[in-house]
Chain A
Amino acid sequence: KAGVTQTPRYLIKTRGQQVTLSCSPISGHRSVSWYQQTPGQGLQFLFEYFSETQRNKGNFPGRFSGRQFSNSRSEMNVSTLELGDSALYLCASSLWGIDYEQYFGPGTRLTVT
């Protein structure tokens, strides 16, 4: 089975811009979760989508949003980028959700200048 894929792998944006990241889960997985990883804060949960519905949400501002399509592919959007948004953004897929095993994609490295 193919693993989780994320596009793009690297991205450079300017403060104030917006960005959209994409994630394709493992075939058959209905849950997609998004995480932000930084050296200072570690790996932090952004939100989880299951069957096109947001099921869980972490403690991030509303500038961070997401959606999931009927084929389980998911996108994450960050609006009005700030320097502090520079991070590795990871998505993870699971058959049943974050209560169960999750498999991470390779991540998107976002740099905000």
Chain B
Amino acid sequence: QKEVEQNSGPLSVPEGAIASLNCTYSDRGSQSFFWYRQYSGKSPELIMSIYSNGDKEDGRFTAQLNKASQYVSLLIRDSQPSDSATYLCAVNGDKIIFGKGTRLHILP
């Protein structure tokens, strides 16, 4: 059974700090990785995709991928109260699998 694991949280981070979200996956053949943000009662919104080992930055967001260790992470710099949401990690190998998400709470 291929899996994608995320800490369910809630992860509480002070406003202005760095939030670090982690995701591990079991399928070594996975090739594409995504982070989505989902506000309560809304649909998932794409934040970033990453396909190769290393870091990818987009504004306040940095995705990190380590295929050897089978983890992908998302860093949010200068966290804002509007970043409070559930963050979903998605991993695509022969099937796309979503983690169950980490609830992030930014403390004003």
Give chain A's interface residues, CB within 8 Å of chain B.
Answer: 33, 35, 42-45, 56, 58, 88, 90, 98-107
Q: Which chain B positions have C-beta within 8 A of A102? A: 34, 46
A-B contact pairs, 28 of them (CB 8 A): A33-B96, A35-B98, A42-B98, A42-B100, A42-B101, A43-B88, A43-B98, A44-B98, A45-B95, A45-B96, A56-B95, A58-B95, A90-B43, A90-B44, A98-B96, A99-B31, A99-B92, A100-B32, A100-B49, A101-B34, A101-B46, A102-B34, A103-B46, A104-B44, A104-B45, A104-B46, A106-B42, A106-B43
Q: Which chain A positions have C-beta within 8 A of B101? A: 42
B97 near A45 with CB under 8 A, answer: yes
How far, in whole Å, are A42 and B49 apart by their CA atoms in the complex? 20
- Number of chain B residues close to chain A: CB under 8 A: 19
How far, in whole Å, are A22 and B34 apart by their CA atoms in the complex? 25
Contact of A104 among B43, B92, B95, B99 (CB under 8 A): B43
**Which label, helix, strand, loop or mixed, suits the secondary structure of the B interface?**
strand
A105 near B43 with CB under 8 A, answer: yes
Chain A residue nearest to B99 in the complex (CB): A42
How far, in whole Å, are A73 and B32 apart by their CA atoms in the complex? 25
Q: A43-B88, A43-B98, A99-B92 are in contact. Are A107 and B32 (CB under 8 A)?
A: no
Chain A residue nearest to B93 in the complex (CB): A99
Give chain B's interface residues, CB within 8 Å of chain A.
Answer: 31-32, 34, 36, 42-46, 49, 88, 92, 95-101
Chain B residue nearest to A4 in the complex (CB): B43
How far, in whole Å, are A35 and B96 apart by their CA atoms in the complex? 10
Chain A residue nearest to B88 in the complex (CB): A43
Q: A43-B88, A45-B96, A58-B95 are in contact. Are A99 and B32 (CB under 8 A)?
A: yes
The 10 closest A-B CB pairs, nearest first, are A43-B98, A42-B100, A104-B43, A98-B96, A104-B44, A99-B32, A107-B43, A45-B96, A101-B49, A106-B43
How far, in whole Å, are A45 and B90 apart by their CA atoms in the complex? 11
How far, in whole Å, are A99 and B44 apart by their CA atoms in the complex? 17
Shortest beta-carbon distance from B53 to chain A in Å: 17
